[in-house]
Amino acid sequence: MNEKLSPKDKFLVAFTEMFPDFRVESISVDKIPTEAMEYFIRKSECFRPEGSYSPEDFIEAYKVLRGEGSYTTYIVKEIKEIKDYGFEEDTYFADVDEQGELIGTSELRYKPDSDKEFFKDKPFLGNIRTNPNFLRQGFGIRRIELMDGFSRIQYQNPLYSDEINSEEMIAVWEKLVADGRASKTQLSDDEGDVRYAMI
């Protein structure tokens, strides 16, 4: 890769190589649809005072076009300081259909300076949600695949699950394991105490 490229341009090149069927653009936050932007602001203000959001908080913003007649994923990234917790990099994803309706959302969290086993070199899925009208159509799995690609490019590590997952989230991860796209690690003797990772 051309070393003269900016970090953002390097990301765009790497993303295009990883997802050749998609078209990715760096955008300004004012190009993000209303529903997606409202979600991004709510996430930005989590663990911080309400109204503390500023457009400058999002240091990167991207638009991923999945093909004509399909849907678009918007991505924003910020570095957030959380009281008594420290700094972490949070990246938010929102799928939007051609009519501007929000399909679903998700959050990727990463603590680059942590030495704790849970966080060290383990970008992880903070939350994921698909709106009821779009359930059971594969949107959640496709969003996880996109997040995994983002994680590998930005952090050189695959996407991990949290240690606490809903039944719906476990079902998604178990499907990825069955398809050979994710691994499952038992964390303790407790049968439910597991963590997943993309492979």
Interatomic CA distance for residues 25 and 78, integer angstroms: 17
Mean pLDDT, residues 86-97: 94
Residue 145, pLDDT > 90, answer yes
CA 194 to chain centroid: 20
- Categorize the per-residue pLDDT at 186 as very low, low, confident or very high, splitting at 50, 70 and 90: confident
Cα–Cα distance for residue pair 16/2, rounded to 1 Å: 15
Report CA-CA distances (Å) from 174 to 182, 185, 196, 197.
8, 12, 9, 11
Of the CATH numbers 3.40.50, 3.40.630, 2.40.128, 2.40.160, which one belongs to the domain with range 7-162? 3.40.630
Domain ranges in the chain are 7-162
Supply the pLDDT for residue 2: 60
pTM value > 0.75: yes
Q: Quick one: pLDDT at residue 190?
A: 60
Whole-number average pLDDT of the chain? 90
The pLDDT value given to residue 165:
84
pLDDT tens for each residue of 11-69:
999 999 999 999 999 999 999 999 999 999 999 988 776 667 787 889 999 999 987 77
CA distances from 49 to 44, 45, 46, 52, 54 (A): 10, 6, 8, 6, 12
Check residues 163 and 14 and name the one with the higher pLDDT. Answer: 14
Sorting pLDDT into bands at 50, 70 and 90, what band is 167?
confident
Q: What is the pLDDT of residue 125?
A: 95
The SS3 of residue 74 is: strand
In the predicted structure, residue 1 carries a pLDDT above the cut 60: no
> What confidence category does residue 86 fall into, taking pLDDT thresholds of 50, 70 and 90?
confident
The torsion of the CA quartet 35, 37, 40, 41, rounded to 10 degrees, works out to -110
Confidence of residue 94 (pLDDT cuts 50, 70, 90): very high
Whether the per-residue pLDDT at 136 is higher than 90: the answer is no
